[in-house]
Amino acid sequence: MNKTISINLGGSVFNIEEHAYDQLKAYLEQIRRNLEEPEMADEVMSDIELRIAELFKDQMTVVKNVIIPTDVDHIIAVMGRPEDFGTGQAKESSHSKKADAKTESTGHKGRRIFRDGDDAVIGGVCSGLSHSIGWDPLVLRIIAVLIGFVSFGSAFLGYIILWALVPEARTTPEKLQMRREPVNVENISRFVNEEAAKASQNINRAANRFNSSTSQAAKGAGLVITKIIGAVISFMGIGLLIVLMIALTAADSHIFGWTGADLGFFNAYIWDDPSMGLWLMVAIVLLIGTPAMGMLYSGIRLLMGTVKRIPFLGASLFGLFLIGVIIAFWAGSSLAREFSRHAEFKTDLTFPVDEVRDTLFLSAIEDPIFMGRNELHRSLSDLVKRSGDSTYYGDPIHLSFESTNDDQFRLRIIRQSEGRDLDEAGELASNIRYQYLIDGNNLQLATVFSTPNKDHFRAQAINMTVYVPVGKKVSIGKNVSWITWFDEDEENKIYTMCDDHLEEDCPERNSRRQRESEPQNGND
């Protein structure tokens, strides 16, 4: 049975066996005696103790929570022996070289990424990454700015996420890890001396005294601000996740042109490459999901203050976000080019005066393609079908009514389409096939149009206008509501063109006509 002691090392509390404590204490005292700059001993020893505390934490497990002598031996092997640095001549010995080699292999548990606050322009992200990949920080900053412009500013959100997720290298061990240098006693001592040479010792002491006098007030205010910022960031992350779920669920509501989670319509009728629709969905998930996860994680860490940092999470999320930007830019620009030009063909038809008198009887040709169609089916994905060598569309077909001072009813049919260029748009518009029938004062219009199967959907549409002489009537037949603004309950009614719109009756006009038709009383 061994006696254990509770110690505070580097701000952390450990239980250590008495023999291991004596061994560790002797090791630290020997390090202090071998320091080349005694005036920097406190700062160097503080950083060394912080590093030893990190290594002790790595050795602790659920079943092992006491430091034993073998743990101290491991720390000495990693950190180096006091005689391997300082004023002695052991540096040049073969023993020192072996210790350095061993330290190189055991000095890092993993390649962590830090922000370099000492060389920061905004948050120190690019400067920190430059130590990891060996590039000049200026090159990374230029690349970050270019990516920001290419992504129309959305990449700057990724930088902010990295700023929140990637820790700043504050302690000497963290700064050594950032520079990919072994974290041992010799390097800690050297680094502290180099840092001390960059600034006056008196200025540092004055700054420390100022910080200590204001730290209590600043801690309280800083804690409140941190919690508020954490709550705001968390709600923003949750909001983005809700937006993402709505965007994915919206596929069930006929949005974006496909039904449900099936991308069949999008791939079959719009993209030349069937995989493009899936890539677009991947881009949406990455562009919304990665910032949401980053914000939620950062907010929780700020709120709780005890959540363990996940290594490389920020870099991973930023990389996925960039992939989403690239996919979205590629898919969006490809689709936009397919709809960049507009073309249309107009057909004007005039009804003979002798055959059409006061009333035009308008009806819909029976729809043999979309059986069971009703008012609830107005989505393009519901009303598209391939049959034989043709693709049939039940939408978009639009019918409107306008007044005219002529005595004749007229019909204008416009076939229109988009395309990559004017020639393609014109060809697609000319390939639209639409059926109508004029028989005396009867006008029948189809509720579908068709295109060849080889023609992908490029916003092909039929826009029609019936010009009605003022005072004349239009009788609305069954299913006309499918192609115009009438509702089903307004079918089978007769409407009169009153100056500039259709109404069921024009009382003033009718009474005036009646007075004009009555014989005038008077003496001849």
For the residues 436-442, what does the mean pLDDT come to?
A: 88
Q: If residue 410 lies in a helix (H) or strand (E), which one and from where to where?
A: strand 410-419
- pLDDT of 423 strictly over 80: yes
For the residues 366-373, what does the mean pLDDT come to?
A: 81
- The confidence score (pLDDT) of residue 254 equals 43
- Which residues are within 8 A (CB) of 363 and not within 5 positions of it... i.e. 6 or more apart? 442, 443, 444, 445, 477, 478, 479, 480
For the residues 432-459, what does the mean pLDDT come to?
A: 91
Give dist(CA 372, CA 256) in Å, integer.
23
- The confidence score (pLDDT) of residue 424 equals 94
Helices (H), 83-200: 94-106, 125-133, 137-150, 154-165, 172-178, 185-198
- The confidence score (pLDDT) of residue 422 equals 94
The residues with which 79 forms a beta bridge, in sequence order, are: none
Are the C-beta atoms of residues 480 and 364 closer than 8 Å to each other?
yes
For the residues 383-387, what does the mean pLDDT come to?
A: 86
3-class DSSP state of 359: strand
Nearest to 338 by CA among 429, 391, 272: 272
pLDDT range class, residue 344, cuts 50, 70, 90: very high
pLDDT range class, residue 509, cuts 50, 70, 90: low
pLDDT, tens digit (0-9, with 9 covering 90-100), for 10-30: 788 888 888 888 888 888 888
- β-pairing verdict for 12-17 and 410-419: unpaired
3-class DSSP state of 109: coil
Q: Decide: pTM greater than 0.75.
A: no
Residue type, 457: F
Are the C-beta atoms of residues 152 and 319 closer than 8 Å to each other?
no
Are the C-beta atoms of residues 292 and 237 closer than 8 Å to each other?
yes
- pLDDT of 498 strictly over 80: yes
Q: Which of residues 500 and 459 earns the better pLDDT score?
A: 459
Token pair 């010009």 is found at: 467
Cis peptide upstream of residue 396 (ω within 30 degrees of 0): yes
Give dist(CA 53, CA 24) in Å, integer.
12
Helices (H), 370-478: 422-430
- The confidence score (pLDDT) of residue 347 equals 92
pLDDT range class, residue 435, cuts 50, 70, 90: very high
- pLDDT of 341 strictly over 80: yes
pLDDT, tens digit (0-9, with 9 covering 90-100), for 52-81: 888 888 888 777 788 888 888 888 887 777
Give dist(CA 297, CA 54) in Å, integer.
23
Give dist(CA 36, CA 185) in Å, integer.
12
Average pLDDT, the chain: 76
Give dist(CA 109, CA 112) in Å, integer.
9
pLDDT, tens digit (0-9, with 9 covering 90-100), for 450-473: 999 999 899 999 999 999 988 889
pLDDT range class, residue 9, cuts 50, 70, 90: confident
- The confidence score (pLDDT) of residue 189 equals 62
- The confidence score (pLDDT) of residue 464 equals 95
3-class DSSP state of 189: helix
- β-pairing verdict for 66-67 and 12-17: parallel
- pLDDT of 335 strictly over 90: no
Burial, 172: exposed, middle or buried (Cβ in 10 Å; 0-12, 13-18, 19+)?
A: buried
- The confidence score (pLDDT) of residue 79 equals 78
- pLDDT of 372 strictly over 60: yes
Give dist(CA 49, CA 10) in Å, integer.
5
Q: How far is CA 189 from CA 37, 106, 241, 380, in A?
A: 9, 18, 47, 72
- The confidence score (pLDDT) of residue 434 equals 95
pLDDT range class, residue 427, cuts 50, 70, 90: very high
Give dist(CA 49, CA 9) in Å, integer.
6
> DSSP secondary structure string, 387-401?
ETTEEEE--SEEEEE
Which region among 137-141, 361-365, 385-389, 466-470 has the lowest average model confidence (pLDDT)?
137-141
Are the C-beta atoms of residues 295 and 303 closer than 8 Å to each other?
no
Q: Which of residues 312 and 462 earns the better pLDDT score?
A: 462
Give dist(CA 348, CA 441) in Å, integer.
16
- pLDDT of 431 strictly over 50: yes
- pLDDT of 518 strictly over 60: no
- pLDDT of 408 strictly over 50: yes
Helices (H), 179-312: 185-198, 201-249, 264-269, 276-304
pLDDT range class, residue 352, cuts 50, 70, 90: confident
Which region among 2-16, 144-158, 354-368 has the lowest average model confidence (pLDDT)?
144-158
Q: Which of residues 89 and 177 earns the better pLDDT score?
A: 177
pLDDT, tens digit (0-9, with 9 covering 90-100), for 246-298: 776 665 444 444 444 445 566 677 877 767 777 878 888 888 888 888 888 88
Neighbours of 39 (CB within 10 A): 10
